[in-house]
Amino acid sequence: MRGGTENISGIVGLAKAFELANERMEQRRQHISALRQYFIEQLREQLEDIQFNGDYDGDSLYTVLSVSFPQSPKSVLLLLNLDIMGISASGGSACSSGAETGSHVLAAIGANPERKTIRFSFSHHNTVEEIDQVIAKLKTVVTTKQLVS
């Protein structure tokens, strides 16, 4: 394709992708919101001293949940252990991933800097069974004495 030539097939494909995404958006939002709420309920029931950051049950992004775990020798390696167990999650806040210093976003919403914060993301591809697996693995990581160190 020459420079300056419109990519008509790409434009049509993008328009179709938008159309399909828009058709299913509300159904997907409801599914993702239900999964996130189920995850919150399971964390509360099965793990002690869990805190949620931000307005998690109000005006917040339904695809992400920021969870703070109690400080312990294991919490430093919590994210690494989850990764080894096949759980994809992120540490801190999105705008400070990988940073050695604390997140200004977490500080602004009042998160305790002494606690380990993990961000879990949800998609329309996720299932309740996957949430149950994550909860089971989190329980193992948080309660087991022998973990990667």
116 Cβ partners below 8 Å, 6+ apart? 68, 69, 71, 75, 76, 78, 79, 91
Is pLDDT at 107 greater than 90 in this prediction?
no
For the record, the structure tokens of 139 come out as 């329980």
Q: What is the pLDDT of residue 143?
A: 77
Q: Give the residue among 114, 116, 71, 112 at the shortest CA–CA distance from 89.
A: 116
Is pLDDT at 99 greater than 70 in this prediction?
no
Residue range 28-143 in CATH 3.90.1150.10: yes
Q: What is the pLDDT of residue 94?
A: 60
- The region of weakest confidence among 41-45, 49-53, 74-78, 106-110 is 106-110
Q: Give the alpha-carbon dihedral of 93, 97, 100, 106, to 10 degrees.
A: -10
Q: What is the pLDDT of residue 100?
A: 43
For the record, the structure tokens of 134 come out as 């994550």
Can you tell me the mean pLDDT for 106-120? 76
What residues does each domain of the chain span? Answer: 28-143
Residue 131 — pLDDT band, cuts 50, 70, 90?
Answer: very high
Is this structure's pTM higher than 0.75?
Answer: yes
Residue 60 — pLDDT band, cuts 50, 70, 90?
Answer: confident
Active site residues: 95
* Distances, alpha carbon 107 to alpha carbons 30, 56, 119, in Å: 30, 16, 15
